[in-house]
Homo-oligomer: A and B are copies of this chain.
Amino acid sequence: MHTYTEEKIEAYQNENKNRARLLIRCPDQPGIVATVSQFLYEHGANIVTSDQYTLDPEGGQFFMRIEFDCPGLRDKKADLEKDFTPIAEKFNMHYDVRYVHELKNVAIFASKEPHCLLELLWEWESGDLMANIAVVVSNHEVVRDMVESRGIPFHYIPANRDIRSQAEAQQKEILEQYDVDLVILARYMQILTPDFVEEYKNQIINIHHSFLPAFIGANPYERAFNRGVKMIGATSHYVTNDLDEGPIIEQDIGRVDHRDDVAAMKKIGQAIERSVLARAVKWHLEDRIIVHGNKTIVF
């Protein structure tokens, strides 16, 4: 017997069994769109949505995301990929083909504050976050129940500044075991080592509880309160080795006023963190994001 979530996921995979996404990045030059759309047409694919962007029109970079339906996709994958190779070479493309029915394996890292973890679990349960939540890792036991009660494996791995490398060794083992494609830091509050970050480049999404670049680092709500701001925010970004400096995916803000003390700001802020992180994660899962330098293109 299937759970509500499993049924939603199966229905999604079935609906999208012929759907794929093509992400392209290359130097701009005439004829790219014509060539790619001709290629798809000849392979019996129908373009569902198409987005493109040229950074600096003259001699710049070209970015494209095409979502297409191709009847009998499963059997055509090998041919599609093989036949696209000469096109990619001609235009000097970096590209990816993603098949929508192949869900990404996701690991969520959490700490003591559960609101961001819970938001992701709720979205997943209701069939609004199409991924395989493979595992949750935390340096606190407090969230174990809410994870395991949903049938998701939970691993308690103590972590702090002093035992960072041991912790990361265990974490990496788990990520490999579950073949994880995406790590979500759901208010994990621990800094990762450069090695770890490098190994999962553009595959780790963090939520920072401020409107970056304001209030980088610790205690942003306290500092927002002390500064007397009239709005607080949250920022979701890919993790790099510069603290809170990675490519921003999404930001949002909420109003506060003089009546809001630090506790009230945290409450208001948590709702913003939840929705900002959930949006960023969904866009990643839908292959909408291309990272370019320290910025994101979100189609």
Q: Which residues of A contact B (CB under 8 A)?
A: 30-31, 33-34, 37-38, 40-41, 44, 46-50, 52-55, 57, 69, 115, 118, 122, 126, 128, 149, 211-215, 227-231, 233, 247-253, 257-259, 267, 294-298
Chain B residue at smallest Cβ distance from A125: B118
Residue from the list B55, B69, B247, B252 in contact with A231, Cβ < 8 A: B252
B295 touches A258 (CB 8 A): yes
Enumerate 7 A-B pairs (CB-CB under 8 Å) in ascending A order: A30-B46, A34-B34, A34-B38, A212-B227, A213-B214, A228-B295, A253-B253
A293 to B6, CA, bound (A): 39
CA distance A257 to B115 in the complex (A): 27
- A233: which B residues are within 8 A, CB to CB? 211, 231
Which residue from B41, B228, B248 sits with its C-beta under 8 Å from A294? Answer: B228
Q: If the complex has contacts A213-B227, A214-B213, A252-B231, are A57 and B40 also in contact, measured as CB distance less than 8 A?
A: no
Complex contacts, A128 vs chain B, CB 8 Å: 267
Whether A231 lies near B258 (C-beta < 8 A) is no
Q: Which residue of B lies closest to A44 (CB)?
A: B30
Bound-complex Cα distance A267 to B128 (A): 9
Q: Is the CB of A230 within 8 A of B258?
A: no
Find chain B residues with CB under 8 A from A250 CB: 230
When A38-B34, A47-B33 are in contact, do A253 and B228 touch as well, CB less than 8 Å? no
Partner of A229, one of B149, B215, B251: B251
B33 pairs with A50, CB closer than 8 A:
yes
Alpha-carbon separation in the docked complex, A228 to B227 (Å): 24
A50 to B34, CA, bound (A): 12
Looking at the assembled complex, report how far the CB atom of A241 sits from the nearest CB atom of chain B, in whole angstroms. 17
User: For A52, what are the chain B residues with a Cβ–Cβ distance below 8 Å?
Assistant: 47, 49-50
